[in-house]
Structure 1
């Protein structure tokens, strides 16, 4: 691509031309691997700890991981919003606005990360008490959570850099950064937990070190390419600019609420399940991590689809959007079906990857069908959010957050769990069924044609 004039971005991948299927696959594959490796952080922690410590260790990593995911809802929401806005700026060729968005995102989100870390540390005991953390895993959970809080800034930083690159159409570099971190995390997990006998604290420390290295490498890359990205890294460039802060807040707040609502609902369900004992708490960890793997597929194709949709809307190439959604939905459903067949046919093989605790494995069949249902819910979400997020419709994002995250998941879980007396099984089914809400809302939104308006 030719170098642009000063102040403009030169490393930009145009996703508004060429084969839709080829571009989505090429863009989504690095995202999928990167997201899978990012998920490996908590998954490896759970597997290593589960094999060494057992159910109480798995419970600690599951609960601590849920808390950490909740703390990152603002990073996920605002980074996703920034990515969508940057992609639309790219499509509209507003290169000066991209530089302003980069500086604003860095300063704004790092301030939020610091605030979240301080608040969570101050109320750490109250948080674990609200979650009905089992006594057997309480101290393990506390160790894991406190150490991970110290690395919260690294998570926010990585999400900022990744959002910038992905908004410009680059999905390969985020994959490289997170791959390095995942390898370091896996090696340190085994070293700290197995050889140093540090237990759950060692797993958390390995995670934080991996995240820190990932962020530092990504930041160095961005700095070395600063001229090509149109961002000079001078102190004045990190000033929050009202011109871009407003659209970031308008879109970011609903997207953050959407992320928070889903995480809060999972926290509520975790608290309900934890009340039934450490065995069910460990099962919740298996359900969450198994579902998370399909969530990785969904998030990867959602990111690819929403970036392509954003660029297409910014360039006013509206006829390209239905093709994008069709490809995203088709590929996601094929993957969901393949994963479901594997889980249904070989559940014992998959569950023993998490633990050898026989008490946990004896009840593991309870989560098989809820996990499969969740797989298909995640697949349909990819198509819906490619349109909803890519169009930048803030009001619709808020509506989905409330219906999907709060009313749907918590409401259905309470209905199945308490009213129908299915208890833990009902909580998992409620969570899975609620995952189909976005595709219903997204279909109505697509048919209305309002997505052509862009960021709202």
Structure 2
């Protein structure tokens, strides 16, 4: 755990945000690795199919991050106030809500993935491979939501390094499995999807094991989980605006993708490759904002409003 209520505001924010930036860079490498390997070994049709599914995956991550952000803010606030009983309530409630929501999204997505592809005018020659990839990605929503929930809990108590280490390991696993499933087992785009989901499951399991060892008081025991409606309401009040902001950004990109799909496979493949490069440009500002969220919440919980203001100016 890291206390963000002490020390130089600028140094505290910078050193807390740096691991988040590195972690998100590796998170982005998940998708870049898929595109590079798929494009080189399976061709432009497969790259175009994977590229469209990336926009859907971006939307799902936006939902997951936004929903879990509210729990992260409350965790930071109660941790700053040294109220560990309330921290535990928020942790259990946030994880349970994310788990239920991910199950609903995974089931609906797997059932209606083909209809989604048709709605977005994906060319007929790509429908089969895109549907296969997208179905597997929707199943992967479950470990993704669970991992993001745990990550935001760790950041809420000031631990931004551990999620980064886990992401680095998961990214390397994803790349190795991508190459193995595609080149050795000849699974095609399904191999890329299975590699990604496997890496996400690794992230979740590793994070759970780490919390059990390092933060036993916050460890999530499935048989003891209870949903606190009051804390859930407060979490959603905080997290929903952030979630909607990310969703609107995602919808904007999907609107562009809808238009791109009308120009055929070549344009879809080109857009898929270029958009991966563009996504790196936004990261520094977004990661600084994430760090400020937890910094502000901890200091607000500790009653240090002046420090919040100084921290905002430093950022």
Fold-level match, TM-score > 0.5? yes
Deviations 1:359-400 (A, max 9, x none): xxxxxxxxxxxxxxxxxxxxxxxxxxxxxxxxxxxxxxxxxx
Alignment partner, residue 269 of structure 1 = 256
1:123 counterpart SS class: helix
Aligned length: 315
Unaligned runs of 5+ in 2: none
Structure 2 partner of 1:88: 77
Question: How far did 1:253 drift?
Answer: 2.4
Residue number in structure 2 paired with 1:155: 144
Counterparts of 1:229-308 in structure 2 under 5 Å?
229-231=217-219, 233=221, 235-236=223-224, 238-308=225-295
The CA deviation at 1:316 is 3.0
Q: State TM-score, norm by structure 2.
A: 0.93
Once residues 155 and 66 of structure 2 are traced to their aligned partners in structure 1, the CA distance between those partners, rounded to angstroms, is 15
C-alpha displacement of 1:18: 1.1
Q: Does 1:71 align with 2:57?
A: no
Larger Rg: 1
For residues 207 and 175 of structure 1, what CA distance do their matches in structure 2 show? Answer: 17
- Verify the 8 A CA contact 1:42 1:61 in the aligned structure 2: no
Mean alpha-carbon deviation: is it higher for 188-197 or for 117-126?
Answer: 188-197
Q: List runs of 5+ in structure 1 lacking aligned partners.
A: 1-11, 329-456
Map 1:205-216 onto structure 2 (within 5 A).
Answer: 205-216=194-205
Q: Provide, for residues 171-200 of structure 1, a one-character-per-residue CA deviation record: whole Å limited to 9, x for no partner.
A: 111112112211110111111223333221
Match status 1:198 vs 2:182: no
Instruction: State the partner residue of 2:42.
Output: 53
**TM-fit CA distance, 1:314:** 2.4
RMSD: 1.8
Matched-pair contact (CA < 8 Å) for 1:91–1:311? yes
Is the contact between residue 28 and residue 300 of structure 1 (CA under 8 Å) also seen in structure 2?
yes
Higher relative contact order at CA 8 Å, sep ≥6: structure 1 or structure 2? 2
Give runs of ≥4 in structure 1 deviating > 3 Å: 229-232, 325-328
Deviation at 1:201, TM superposition (A): 1.3
Could you state the TM-score of these two structures normalised by the residue count of structure 1? 0.66
Structure 1, residues 23-76: CA drift from partner, whole Å, max 9, x if none?
A: 222212211121111111111000111112232222111111111222333311
